[in-house]
Amino acid sequence: MAHPLDNIFWNCLNGPHRRLATGTDRARRYAPGFSPIVGFPDPHAPDFAALRPFCTPGEQLYCDAWSGPVPDGWRIEAEATMFRLVWDGRAGPAQDAAPDALPLGPGHVDQAMALARLTRPGPFGPRTIELGEYFGCFDDGHLVAMAGERMAAGGLREISGVCTHPGHQGRGHATRLMQKLVMRQLARGATPFLHVMSANRRAHDLYLGMGFRDWCETVVRVVTPC
């Protein structure tokens, strides 16, 4: 029996986040404004024709697993690999590692988008912080680090959007925010998981040390309809 993590994009977009997605039973994507992620029932044989009516020319969309030839009317903007990691089952943090972190809401969207554009933590839109709990660290009213929740399926909850302003790195903000989220997810009975680009060895090693283990390494592509 397939595990939800084997096709998490589709299992999320066709499951818990279906109300936040557009598409059909052959292809779905987050609605515009959320993270520009797409999913297919078979990620190795994506039906881009079914997806096309729900996209606009020039829009950049993220998909995983697929490594075949690009179909007519589409182009590949970027291609890399990423690790998908899942919590290894150990006990989580015993106390809140970031009690000073503030929940992010509609009033923080501009700052969250600015930080995401600067640090590029992955696909991020102005409504991404509506997908789950998001927390931020502030310095004199300025958002300097954030982390939150994105995809969900089968009792799994993704930690995503982890980033720190370059001028505030090295202070443990991201680690503390992640520990906070892990603690809260485990308390709810959810299993944390996350993604990290394969080239980001430092972050990958950090996550392994925190209590995550590799589930798989997969292709990730950024595609654009022409």
pLDDT tens-digit map of 153-200: 999 999 999 999 999 999 999 999 999 999 999 999 999 999 999 999
pTM (2 decimals)?
A: 0.95
pLDDT given at position 92: 86
The residues of the chain that CATH labels 3.40.630.30 are 85-215
pLDDT tens-digit map of 114-134: 999 999 999 999 999 999 999
206-212: Cβ within 8 A, 24+ apart = 206/175, 207/85, 208/85, 210/175, 210/178, 210/179, 210/182, 211/87, 211/88, 211/90, 211/92, 211/182, 212/85, 212/86, 212/87, 212/88
Distances (CA, A) of 210 to 131, 150, 207: 24, 19, 5
Beta bridge partners of 226: none
Q: Which residue matches tokens 């998909």?
A: 63
CATH fold of 85-215 reads Aminopeptidase (3.40.630)
